[in-house]
């Protein structure tokens, strides 16, 4: 690998296509009551509790593929001083990098684009950077520094985040991605998703948002483009990971929904029946040739999109309307 000297150290030179997130891994919400939200995401959504941080009034839940697919936290101006004290809704979505070197190189590129980082910290199992996109949504770009995260974070967890800055200490290319996770299941839950896979934003500033997520964050377009009304973007895994939509056709700017994949279509149909029996309103119920989708609101009104892609069904993006594309991300 070619190198260049920087301050008596050497920084790897990697192709731009590799200085990009692998995928979107979780959404983090400010909620009205974190204990009630934890119960909802366990008993309705079907994610297992990973750990809690009582001083933050925060809980983290997943099904084994990563340290959390969803996090809930009662609002504090400590984490978002620009927001009103009663702010409820998205805190941030998170993108996972391949290894520490790719995160540090990504950080350098973001600095060149004048990104204003709100927080840079070591969570013990991750190195994480936070920033706002042009619409004011907060995102996290991070790397796992510990493969067996559950040995550090489980139960009731107390942690003082130590100081960390990119390139200090000098990073390596060790991958701490769990390639074949052991998925867990909440048997009595209404839904049984495997993992969080994507998020969707409706934007008031299309040009700036498209540039930010493609040129700064580094996602690649799978469908749509700078002149379109919508775009589907992918990380280095090549999977649908972010949807961007212009605020047209009655769509309200902001975070629209998070997507979670289901193990199969039969499981999705069984979840629909359980939701009906539990009196849970289905906000989305779509039968597209390539994907079956259901959607519900959580306790704070956030839209959760559950889906299963039909085997072998390829999306003909040229024939997809914006209304269809919204739930194909």
User: Mind listing the domains of the chain with CATH numbers?
Assistant: 19-156 (3.10.180.10), 195-325 (3.10.180.10)
The residue ranking higher by pLDDT, 180 or 3, is 180
Report whether 297 contacts 37 (CB < 8 A): no
Burial per residue of 160-180, b for 16 or more beta-carbon CB atoms within 10 angstroms, e otherwise: eeeebebbeeebeeeebbeee
- State the Cα–Cα distance between residues 303 and 286, nearest whole angstrom: 15
Least confident of 3-17, 78-92, 98-112, 239-253: 3-17
Report whether 314 contacts 291 (CB < 8 A): no
**Cis preceding linkage at 324, omega within 30:** no
- State the Cα–Cα distance between residues 38 and 32, nearest whole angstrom: 11
- State the Cα–Cα distance between residues 286 and 284, nearest whole angstrom: 6
Of 16-20, 103-107, 164-168, highest mean pLDDT? 103-107
What pLDDT digit, counting tens, does each position of 65-118 carry?
888 999 999 987 566 666 666 689 999 999 999 999 999 999 999 999 999 999
- State the Cα–Cα distance between residues 212 and 116, nearest whole angstrom: 13
Query: 124: which 2 tokens?
Result: 């013990």
Query: Whole-model pTM above 0.85?
Result: yes
Residue 78: the pLDDT is 64
Residue 8: the pLDDT is 44
Burial per residue of 274-292, b for 16 or more beta-carbon CB atoms within 10 angstroms, e otherwise: bbeeeebeeebebebeebb
Residue 191: the pLDDT is 98
Residue 4: the pLDDT is 40
């Amino acid at each position: 690998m070619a190198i260049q000297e920087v301050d008596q150290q050497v920084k790897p030179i990697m192709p731009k296509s590799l200085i990009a997130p692998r995928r979107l891994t979780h959404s983090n919400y400010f909620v009205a009551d974190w204990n009630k939200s934890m119960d909802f995401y366990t008993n309705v959504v079907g994610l297992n509790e990973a750990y809690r941080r009582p001083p933050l009034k925060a809980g983290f839940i997943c099904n084994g593929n990563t340290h959390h697919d969803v996090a809930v936290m009662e609002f504090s101006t400590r984490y978002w001083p620009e927001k009103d004290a009663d702010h409820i809704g998205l805190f941030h979505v998170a993108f996972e990098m391949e290894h520490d070197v790719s995160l540090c190189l990504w950080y350098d590129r973001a600095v060149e684009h004048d990104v204003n980082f709100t927080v840079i910290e070591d969570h013990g199992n991750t190195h994480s950077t936070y920033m706002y996109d042009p619409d004011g949504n907060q995102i996290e770009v991070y790397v796992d520094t510990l493969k067996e995260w559950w040995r550090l974070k489980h139960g009731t967890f107390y942690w003082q985040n130590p100081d960390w800055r990119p390139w200090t200490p000098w990073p390596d290319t060790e991958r701490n991605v769990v390639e074949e996770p052991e998925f867990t299941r909440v048997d009595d839950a209404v839904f049984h998703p495997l993992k969080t896979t994507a998020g969707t934003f409706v934007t008031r500033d299309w040009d700036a948002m498209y540039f930010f997520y493609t040129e700064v964050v580094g996602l690649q377009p799978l469908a749509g483009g700078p002149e379109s009304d919508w775009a589907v973007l992918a990380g280095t895994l090549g999977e649908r990971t972010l949807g961007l939509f212009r605020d047209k056709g009655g769509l309200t700017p902001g975070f629209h929904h998070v997507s979670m994949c289901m193990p199969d279509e039969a499981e999705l149909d069984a979840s629909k029946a359980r939701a009906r029996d539990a009196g849970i309103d289905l906000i989305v119920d779509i039968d597209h040739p390539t994907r079956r989708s259901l959607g519900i609101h959580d306790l704070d009104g956030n839209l959760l999109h559950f889906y299963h892609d039909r085997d072998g069904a390829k999306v003909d993006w040229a024939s997809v309307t914006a209304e269809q594309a919204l739930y194909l991300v």
